[in-house]
């Protein structure tokens, strides 16, 4: 009985070890590029991030009821200004900080469209914080050494899917440091 119990525990630990170490498993370290990941759009459809390979992406954890929410305006302006150059903003709603994104996917979509005329891609609400429920997208982004400390944290992802810069919430879309990182990535081949 004890031998079977120990063998059972060992099997569970062996199976879970890669996930706990962040080395393997769906989205937990198996992706070598941001663009290897799959997720779901805000309207519930499967989304393969490989469609953005070859582009520079600004990945942002967004929220509708945050002091930083007006950044939607600047994010949309960046998206529209640089889209033709191979750039996009990718929004990932999250309720992780201050419960500032409590709405449904429909609520979020309506708010973004009516308040800020958001046209950049938006994805399903995610968990950015480490743990069993963390989104594979944020597990990958976190391998850069940075995870959001609040809503509207920003990652610049290059054309190959590597995180090349991270900016905390208080860095606005028109900040020269953020724009510089985006423009450098756009000019690199």
Using DSSP's 3-state secondary structure scheme, residue 176 falls into: helix
Q: If one looks up domain 32-187 in CATH, what number appears?
A: 3.40.30.10
Write down the pLDDT at residue 170.
98
Write down the pLDDT at residue 189.
75
What residues are labeled active site?
66
Every domain of the chain and the residues it spans:
1-30, 32-187
Euclidean distance between CA atoms 178 and 184, whole angstroms: 10
How does strand 56-62 pair with strand 87-93?
parallel
> What tokens appear for 159 in the block?
């054309």
Instruction: Walk along the chain (189 residues) in steps of 10 and give the mean pLDDT of each run.
Output: 43 36 42 96 97 98 98 98 98 98 97 98 98 97 97 98 98 98 94
Of 42, 58, 65, give the one whose Cα is nearest residue 125: 42
- DSSP string across 97-142: TTT---S-HHHHHHHHHHHH---S-BB--B--SSSTT--HHHHHHH
pTM, entire model? 0.85
Write down the pLDDT at residue 30.
76
CA distances from 20 to 12, 17, 143, 148, 161 (A): 12, 5, 14, 20, 24
> What tokens appear for 68 in the block?
């930083």
Strand partners, 41: 123
CB atoms within 10 A of CB 82: 19
Write down the pLDDT at residue 61.
98
Write down the pLDDT at residue 141.
98
181's enclosing H/E stretch is helix 176-187
Euclidean distance between CA atoms 14 and 35, whole angstroms: 29
């Amino acid at each position: 009985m004890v031998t079977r119990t120990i063998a059972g525990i060992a099997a569970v630990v062996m199976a879970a070890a890669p996930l706990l170490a962040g080395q393997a498993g769906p989205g937990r370290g198996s992706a070598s590029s941001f663009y290897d990941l799959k997720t779901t759009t805000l309207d519930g459809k499967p989304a393969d991030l490989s469609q953005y390979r070859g582009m520079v992406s600004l990945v942002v954890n967004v929220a509708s009821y945050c002091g930083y929410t007006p950044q939607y305006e600047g994010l949309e302006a960046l998206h529209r200004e640089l889209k033709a150059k191979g750039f996009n903003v990718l929004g990932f709603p999250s309720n992780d900080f201050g419960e500032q994104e409590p709405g449904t996917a429909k609520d979020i979509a309506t708010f973004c469209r009516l308040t800020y005329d958001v046209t950049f891609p938006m994805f399903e609400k995610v968990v950015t914080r480490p743990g069993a429920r963390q989104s594979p997208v944020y597990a990958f982004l976190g391998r850069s050494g940075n995870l959001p400390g609040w809503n509207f944290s920003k990652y610049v992802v290059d054309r190959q899917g590597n995180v090349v810069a991270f900016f905390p919430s208080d860095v606005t879309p028109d900040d020269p440091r953020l724009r510089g990182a985006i423009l450098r990535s756009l000019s690199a081949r």
